[in-house]
A and B are shown apart, each in its own frame.
Chain A
Amino acid sequence: MDRVVGAVGRQQLTRVTDWLSRAARRLAGRADRLVLPVVGAATLAVLGVVFYYPVWTVFVEAFGDAAAPIRRVLESDFYFGAAHGLFAHPTRVPGDVLAWLASVRVHAAWTGLAPDVWVSYPTVRKGLFGFTAWQAALSTVASVALGLPGAYVLARFEFPGRRTLKALTILPFVLPSIMVVAGFVATFGSNGTLNGVLTTLGLPKVDVLYTLQVVVLAHAFYNAPLVTRMVTSAWENVDASAVETARSLGASPLRAFRDVVAPQLLPALAASAVLTFVFTFMTFPIVLGLGGLQLATVEVWLYDRVQQFDVATAAALATLETAVSLGLTYVYLRYEGRRAGGGAGKPLSRKRLFSLDASDLRGALVRAGIAGYAVVVALVFLAPLASMVLASVGGVDDPTLRWWRFLLEKQAGSRTQPSVAVRNSLLFGVGALALALPMGVVVAAFSARGGRGRKLADTVLMAPIAVSGIVVGFGMLQSLVFGVEVFGYRVSVVGAAVVVAAHAVAGYPFVVRNVAPMLSAVDDRLVESARALGASRARALWDVELPLVWPGVLAGAAFAFALSVGEFDATVLLAGERAYTMPVALKRYLVDRAAGPSVGPAAAMGTILLAVTAASFVVIDRVGGRYRP
Chain B
Amino acid sequence: MTSLQLDDVTRAFGATTAVESVSLDVRDGEFFTLVGPSGCGKTTTLRLVAGFEQPDAGDVRFGGDSVAGVPPEDRDVGIVFQSYALFPHMSVAENVAYGLRFRDPPEGQSTDGRVAELLELVDLAGFEDRDPGELSGGQQQRVALARALAPGPDVLLLDEPMSALDARLRERLRVQVKKIQSELDITTVYVTHDQSEALAISDRVAVLHAGRVEQVGTPEEVYREPASRFVAEFVGDNNVFDGTPVETKGCSVRVGDATFEVEKEVTDGATVCVRPESLRFDCEHNRFGVRVESVEFLGDAYRAHCEWDGRDVLVKTREEPPTGDAVLGFRPENATLL
Contact = CB atoms under 8 A, between A and B. Distances in A.
Given A523-B83, A532-B78, A533-B78, 11 more contacts: A29-B73, A526-B85, A526-B87, A528-B52, A529-B148, A531-B73, A532-B77, A533-B150, A535-B98, A535-B101, A548-B88
Interface string B43-54: 000000011100
24 contacts: A523-B83, A525-B83, A526-B87, A528-B50, A528-B81, A528-B85, A529-B79, A529-B85, A529-B87, A531-B71, A532-B75, A532-B78, A533-B99, A533-B147, A533-B148, A534-B73, A534-B99, A534-B102, A536-B71, A537-B71, A539-B102, A543-B87, A543-B98, A548-B89
Given A525-B81, A543-B98, A531 B72 contact: yes
A33 B103 CA distance: 16
Interface residues of B, number: 28
A534 B151 CA distance: 9
Interface in A378-435: none
A535 B102 contact: yes
Contact of B98 (A33, A530, A548): A530
A544 interface: yes
Q: Is the interface of A mostly helix, strand, loop or mixed?
A: helix
A533 B151 contact: yes
A530 B147 CA distance: 10
A115 interface: no
B255 to A, nearest CB: 48
B73 A528 contact: no
Contacts of A523: 83, 85
A536 B71 CA distance: 8
Contact of B85 (A525, A536, A543, A547): A525
B83 A533 contact: no
Interface size of A as a range: 20 to 34
Contacts of B75: 532
Interface of A: 25, 29, 33, 523, 525-526, 528-537, 539, 543-544, 547-548
A544 B98 CA distance: 10
A32 to B, nearest CB: 9
Contacts of A25: 102
Nearest to A22: B104
Nearest to A540: B73
A528 B72 contact: yes
Contacts of B87: 526, 529-530, 543-544
Interface in B61-78: 71-75, 77-78
Contacts of B89: 547-548
Contacts of B50: 528, 532
Nearest to B89: A547
A533 B85 CA distance: 12
B142 to A, nearest CB: 15
B73 A535 contact: yes
A534 B148 CA distance: 11
B103 A534 contact: yes
Nearest to A26: B74
A29 B87 CA distance: 21
Contacts of A529: 79, 81, 85, 87, 144, 147-148
Nearest to B98: A533
B274 to A, nearest CB: 42
Contacts of A548: 88-89
Contacts of B74: 534
Contact of A532 (B72, B88, B101): B72
Contacts of B71: 33, 531, 536-537
Contacts of B85: 523, 525-526, 528-529
Nearest to A532: B79
A532 B98 contact: no
A149 to B, nearest CB: 43
Nearest to A533: B99
A303 B109 CA distance: 69
Contacts of A543: 87, 98
A540 to B, nearest CB: 8
B8 to A, nearest CB: 25
**Most chain A CB inside 10 Å of its own CB: which residue of B77, B98, B151:** B98
A528 B151 contact: no
Nearest to A548: B89
A521 to B, nearest CB: 12
Contacts of B52: 528, 531
A520 to B, nearest CB: 16
B77 to A, nearest CB: 5
A535 B50 CA distance: 13
**Most chain A CB inside 10 Å of its own CB: which residue of B73, B81, B89:** B73
A530 to B, nearest CB: 7
Contacts of B77: 532
Interface string B219-263: 000000000000000000000000000000000000000000000
A530 B52 CA distance: 12
Contacts of B151: 533-534
Q: Which 6 A-B pairs have the closest CB atoms?
A: A534-B102, A533-B99, A525-B85, A531-B72, A532-B79, A525-B81
A454 B151 CA distance: 33
A548 B89 CA distance: 7
Contact of A528 (B79, B144, B150): B79
Nearest to A530: B98
A397 B17 CA distance: 80
Contacts of A525: 81, 83, 85
A33 B102 CA distance: 13
A530 B94 CA distance: 12
A29 B144 CA distance: 24
A163 to B, nearest CB: 27
Interface string B147-167: 110110000010000000000
Nearest to A526: B85
B291 to A, nearest CB: 46
Contacts of B147: 529, 533
A376 B115 CA distance: 65
A10 to B, nearest CB: 15
**Most chain A CB inside 10 Å of its own CB: which residue of B101, B103, B147:** B101
